Amino acid sequence: MKYLVIIMNLSWITLITFYNNAHSKLPSLAIEEINQGWQFRQVGEAAWFPATVPGIVHTDLFDNKIIEDPFFRTNEKDLQWIDKIDWEYKTIIKVDKKLLERENIELVFKGLDNYADVYLNDSLLLSTDNMFREWRMECKSYLNEGENSLKILFHSAVKEDLPKLKQLGYQLPAVNDQSENGGLGDKKISIFARKAGYHYGWDWGPRFVTSGIWRKIYLEAWDNAKIIDMYIKQKHISTEKASLSGVFEIQSIGKQNATLSISDYKKSDNLGKTETLLLPGLNTVIIDFDIKNPKLWWTNGLGEAHLYKLMGRLHIGDNTIDEAYKNIGIRTLKLIQEKDSLGRSFYFELNSIPVFMKGANYIPNDNFLPSVSAEEYEEVIQAAVDANMNMLRVWGGGIYENDIFYDLCDKYGILVWQDFMFACAMYPGDDAFVENVKNEAIQNVKRLRNHPCIALWCGNNEIDAAWGYGTDGGWGWKERFSKEIQENIWNNYKKIFYDILPNIVKQYNKEIYYWPSSPMAGPDKRAFYEATSGDIHYWGVWHGKEPFESFKLKIGRFMSEYGFQSFPEFKTVKAYTIPEDWDIRSDVMDAHQRSGKGNELINTYMNWYYKSPKDFESFLYMSQVLQAGGLKMAIEAHRRKTPYCMGTLYWQLNDCWPVASWSSIDYYRRWKALHYFVKKAYNEILVSPTEDDGVFSIWIISDRLEPVEAKLDLDLIDLSGNILFQKKIAVSINANSSQCFFKKNTKELLTGIDKKNVVLIVKVSEDEKILSSNQYYFVPIKNIDLPVPQITKNIKTIKNGYAITLNTDKLAKNIYLNIDESDGFFSDNYFDLIPGEISTIYYFTQEKIIDFKNKLKIISVVDSY
Ligand code: BMA
């Protein structure tokens, strides 16, 4: 576990008058964050301990040295008692006379996890049951001048939900809920709590059913009126102008005249203004306005992700009463599903351009959510940007992410496929549950709808596919229930995913398309691997044990999930193990491999493609090489199929703890081999060689919006770099396309050549600049007699680290550069070092490493067996 460091330099005694920006003072609004003086204890125990807010009980216990690091070795097992217990948090809020003179004082909870009773001066103010919701309570009548006690009692989610299971009388499917690990046998209760599904365990995550104040708490005081919400609707966009509407919700105490204005904050340009008569209660005020010659928002790779900062201002008399700010990106975004000769398209059109989506599925960055810092969010999104991605899918078993996540996606041009928080389970349908879901959905749609990054609202992850329609298919869930219960469960499902959620999206964010479940072949058509419409989660490779080559055959219109596991690098493994654990089969390694068949599958595929690794460390490295090679094959095949296929999101970008998983960056945000491979496979221009049924072909895929005149070079070399065959082809690459530029029977191409001892190097260049290069091996690597290379390294110190120039006398397959005691970043890694070519890569670090050249270790596949 990362140690939680939160710097608190604001005194809780100070009333912080909240300025939305440095220039404007808003006498009407004061916000005081309540993050100081917190203590916590186990209910029934005498001793109180200091607590961090926002935070959660597991990190507070760790910070107080009451428990060991939950992520270390098998500690998770010993910490399952925490979720069976009620916890109490308390602090003192000091309130001065000035604050009490305000007309309204609200206590605002951005997130409480999960069943909490809030007491202000011993009066029960609020009971909560949904970590995804924000809670806001008028509290003036409970406050006294001076000290006030605020206490929050967190009921154990386990104790709270077990009776619900009993009452329901049957177990709803929840395949990833690790109830046995939590000592609950087969009682899977995660479905009853509106709480992140992965807290109960997943096939890449531990079981830590957390509780606590996971987002900020503050007191908000105001007089007269207040802007509750500001929504910028984009009505019509052309190059000349963007016609927009600012839809404001304003809470007013009385009947009063007000002026509302909207302006471009950076340019101080007034865009629109309206006089209005506010009535007591909630008012909706609309200002229509235009932005002339708008700069459009583009995704990463296509142009600038231009953002306008808009400011809404509410004036009453001579006073500015409130201000609101929103960053918006002007863009049109459509999901195009049109019938064509092959089925039905499924692609996103941004500013009238069909855009191939290159990305990954994203899970929460930690089991202990408040411990993820802003810098860590930035690093994760930056890794997506650096790997040339333009879309992330916020998957339904996690959380509606923090604002910072969407701000970063807006800033860097990453579209977000946003699931509602439901995954791989069936959920209850009683009125209270449904009402709770409704409130959660409205709040989150309203919170996120201004972000230009939001591309799609999706009901859930894999539930339609798992349950199945009629009597066919599915994951065998239905069969366990009587017809009557089946109908009941399915009706509850339909109520949420075909009625409530689509209607909420229609009402609050109708510009964005709603897709009931991922995957689906159509809005009302169940997914299947051969579908020629909708999106596909293709798990034939991995779960279905099909060879990687199946990735080339099972391609749909939009590949929203597929993947393969690997282990994190040794440095990461060392963070949760001691030397005696360094065996894939050890209890500790097993506890950090949550897919029951994970190791067996990795072994099976490893034996298909590579020689058996000689030891533990080699196995870790080879698992990454295996994963990267497999997914390279998938991504390239998906891109070659443009425009039939228009999106590829592999499973999964990141990890929530150190573990063997499908991720391409690990918990410490270290790039696995896969992430380096993804960066190349998602390059704007990709040259992709392939072989299908004995025919070898070379494709070039371009995401550029203009054509490119380029040169395609083919070099067939032996493992010592001797050229056996060479060809240069002038190529005219069309805009936004995938084209085949070379095709030959492999036999013809390799006449008289031993295909075990050659590699074909392909390169596309424009004016001598290489746009993309790739290699092709004609046999599985295990069948190649890899030579032992002599690698020469030349090191130069540069401003932010070191430049490393490498060359080799013989092919060095997947060279892995590593420095044990340093944690910098290699600009490239795990690539094939080709004899006769000089490669320069960079190691970025702030450290001065003595004897860098000798400390830099380089291994390749031949060293692994
Ligand atoms: C997909 C995801 C996750 C899971 C992954 C690997 O189904 O939606 O539920 O972790 O496969 O099994």
d(CA 349, CA 354): 4
* pLDDT recorded at residue 731: 98
Instruction: List 355's β-bridge partners, or say none.
Output: 348
Distance 664 CA to ligand 1 centre (A): 15
Give, using CA atoms, the residue closest to atom 8 of ligand 1.
461
Q: Which atom of ligand 1 is nearest to the CA of 397?
A: 9
For 625-640, letters b (16+ CB in 10 Å) and e give bbbbbbbbbbbbbbbb
Q: What is the 3-state secondary structure (H, E, C) of 215-227?
A: CCEEEEEECCEEE
CA 175 – ligand 1 centroid, Å: 10
Q: Which CATH architecture best describes the domain 791-864? A: Sandwich (2.60)
Q: Which helix (H) or strand (E) holds 607?
A: helix 598-609
Q: How far is the CA of 249 from the centre of ligand 1 (A)?
A: 39
- Would you list the domain boundaries of the chain? 34-218, 224-328, 686-783, 791-864
What's the pLDDT score for residue 315? Answer: 96
Domain 686-783 superfamily per CATH: Immunoglobulins (2.60.40.10)
Per residue, what are the HEC states of 816-832? Answer: EEECCCCCCEECCCCEE
Distance CA 391, CA 560 (A): 10
pLDDT of residue 26: 63
Q: Whose CA is nearest to atom 4 of ligand 1?
A: 203
Q: Which residues pair with 30 in a beta bridge?
A: 221
Closest CA to 443 of 29, 161, 111: 111
Decide whether 34-218 matches 791-864 in CATH topology: no
The residue whose CA is least distant from atom 9 of ligand 1 is: 424
Tell me the C-alpha distance between 209 and 204, whole Å.
Answer: 15
CATH topology of domain 224-328: Immunoglobulin-like (2.60.40)
Q: What pTM does this model have? A: 0.96
Nearest ligand 1 atom to the CA of 424 is 9
Beta strand 353-355 with 347-350: parallel, antiparallel or unpaired? antiparallel
- Look at residue 476 in the predicted model and tell me its pLDDT: 87
pLDDT at 27: 61
Among protein residues, the one with the nearest Cα to ligand 1's atom 7 is: 462
Distance 644 CA to ligand 1 centre (A): 25
Separation of CA 594 and ligand 1 centre (Å): 12
Residue 681 CA to ligand 1 centre (angstroms):
22
Looking at the DSSP assignment, which residues form a beta bridge with residue 579? Answer: none
Q: Are 295 and 409 in contact (CB under 8 A)?
A: no
Atom 10 of ligand 1 has which residue's CA nearest to it? Answer: 203
Ligand 1 mean position, distance from CA 772 (Å) = 32
Question: What pLDDT is recorded for position 3?
Answer: 40
Q: Is 197 helix (H, G, I), strand (E, B) or coil?
A: helix
Could you give the CA distance from residue 210 to residue 218 in angstroms, rounded to a whole number? 22
Question: What is the radius of gyration, based on Cα positions, of the chain?
Answer: 29
Backbone angles phi, psi at 781, to 5 degrees: -60, -30
Return the best residue to mutate from 175, 651, 652, 659 for the ligand 1 pocket (most ligand atoms within 8 A of CB): 651
* Token pair of 215 as six digits: 């987002």
Find the 203 Cα to ligand 1 centroid distance in Å: 7
> Which ligand 1 atom is the nearest neighbour of the CA of 203?
10
φ/ψ of 509, rounded to 5, equals -155, 55
CATH architecture of 34-218: Sandwich (2.60)
Which residue, judged by its Cα, is nearest atom 12 of ligand 1?
203
* Interval between CA 661 and ligand 1 midpoint (Å): 10
Q: 129 vs 113, 294, 581, CA distance in Å?
A: 8, 43, 40
Tokens of 389: 């991605």
pLDDT attached to residue 268? 79
Question: Given the CA of residue 561, which atom of ligand 1 is nearest to it?
Answer: 1
DSSP per residue, 664-688: SB-TT-PBPHHHHHHHHHTSSEEEE
| Ligand 1 pocket list (CB less than 6 A) | 202-204, 423-424, 461-462, 537, 561, 651, 662
pLDDT at position 317 is 92
Please report the pLDDT score of residue 266 as a whole number.
87
Q: What sign does the CA torsion over 87, 92, 97, 102 have?
A: negative
The answer to whether 661 and 627 are in contact (CB under 8 A) is no
What is the DSSP pairing of strand 123-129 with strand 200-202? unpaired
- Write out residues in the chain with pLDDT < 70, as ranges: 1-27, 469-473
For residue 651, report the distance from its CA to the centre of ligand 1, in Å: 7
Ligand 1 atom closest to the Cα of residue 595 is: 12
> Which of 581, 569, 678 shows the shortest CA–CA distance to 621?
569
